[in-house]
Structure 1
């Protein structure tokens, strides 16, 4: 090898080696960081069946629609306002999330929303249903219908039956808001309702049940934050031998409810969103089958899957279009797994409603 060839070889080798840091630097510049979405949901405690279904639907939607564009940061708010605030502070100041999704519990959502509003972070609520969320302000959206509608639907059903109405209600944000919406509807008709409130930590309802029975209640709405609360109430009513007509919201549609109560559950009427079989389009059923085929399952009610999947779809569209969330969401009609839907000026979904069902031995009857 001649001297000139030797020098050219050294120069070429140095040039190749020096190119690697430059290529690495260029790759860093061209790659975009993942968009961060914080998920706050009840993954433990009485509302965990709803919270886990919400989480699974969003994780699945991220797999199917997100295509690797997002980093999901999932936290357990335990259906607690205090926990939700702590998580919000982490999402805002540590994780620096771009969006927040989730909330199985209204109290948790209502406690955290002021922090996100101040930080300018948009929020998509996919299961919490308190009427108060409607007035949360700009950049708060919801894909699950409000309890205002559910309470009036249940009241309308109960008033068709003869007897004195009563409510046994836990003292949580969700339960009290639902109760108040029910009472507002009754007040419009001049109908008085016997009411007893209990702490959410209560497990012995016998004293308040006795008071309601003494008031002559014939039609009793059991209003609990969790399915376990309603299950305990029903069991104690049966232990008392009280032949009262029972009503509830949401929880009797859960598979856990019927398994826990057996024959005691039959005859209970309840307000709930439509079943997935009735709600989903043909394409939506295919998406749901894919969800189940991947090993996911529904522990609560099917509408939580639908509302959470569609909540992710809306967030994904907003991010991909680089649009202002408020302008984009309020000005558009979406086509999803349950057909077309839109949002009103308060960010509330239009396109999902409620039905009243009755548990029977054969099946749940509308």
Structure 2
């Protein structure tokens, strides 16, 4: 399976924007946008990476595959699966025209421009800031919003979906596909904890209590225009906290294991039911025009936060074999530029294509 580096980087970059603005750094970062860059970086950084890989033909590779690590936007595959189940079950109408202002009730401009790109893609004019819709009463189809969640990693859409469907629906979508205890939180609230520290829970709060706290903060933000305006003014006029504070914050966000991430992608890629088919339409759309011979579809969802990279993917081959993988990189000591150009899908795709390269990857991981 060969894919041009340009098409691969365009596809992965579109789905995994850096979520927070980064300060400049004079340090030369490792080049994790190339195969050799990954192989040279991994031996000294094995404890920062978890990988689960199954090529669908009997070859597997696992390294810290069951260790929970922050997932960033890779977790949104769960919201997509829940959406697909609700559409097939008649609980959501993909053609529903959603008011953009209601979408933006869950939005903070801390997403590296993902929402801005979503508005541009959908032809929704932005206001003078460039980040919000000029006309909050303009409407877009729900299916288009979900596409923006996958293609540009818009982070307001998953909260809107989870709030409408219920957290249990999103949890169940993961459990039924091999993710026993998904860590589903309010993304809006997690970003608020960084941007508006006075909303954050006390340090050391257990994960379950933190989730409940976050849902309450999200509801307040959703229903209080004055709070949303206050956050908007702060984020558009003041810098975010220092980089080390950002990486510490990211380390406490929603986590999962590479094996669980891979399991959900494998289930959706191999499912013959309408729910899986609908989810695949979204997951495979970014690479649909760049498929190599012998491949029917490449589906993935990546994510990034300061010090965090994650990707879950699947490869549907024309002979029926399905490869799948999950990769999570957590390096809170990384500098602000070190992971900027990193391509988390690259090592997984190469390992699914090339047995010799998979062996080199295993050696770099000390397997």
TM-score (normalizing by structure 1): 0.24
Q: Judging by fraction of residues, say which structure has more strand.
A: 1
Higher RCO structure, 1 or 2 (CA under 8 Å, sep 6+) = 2
TM-score (normalizing by structure 2): 0.24
Q: Which has the larger radius of gyration?
A: 1
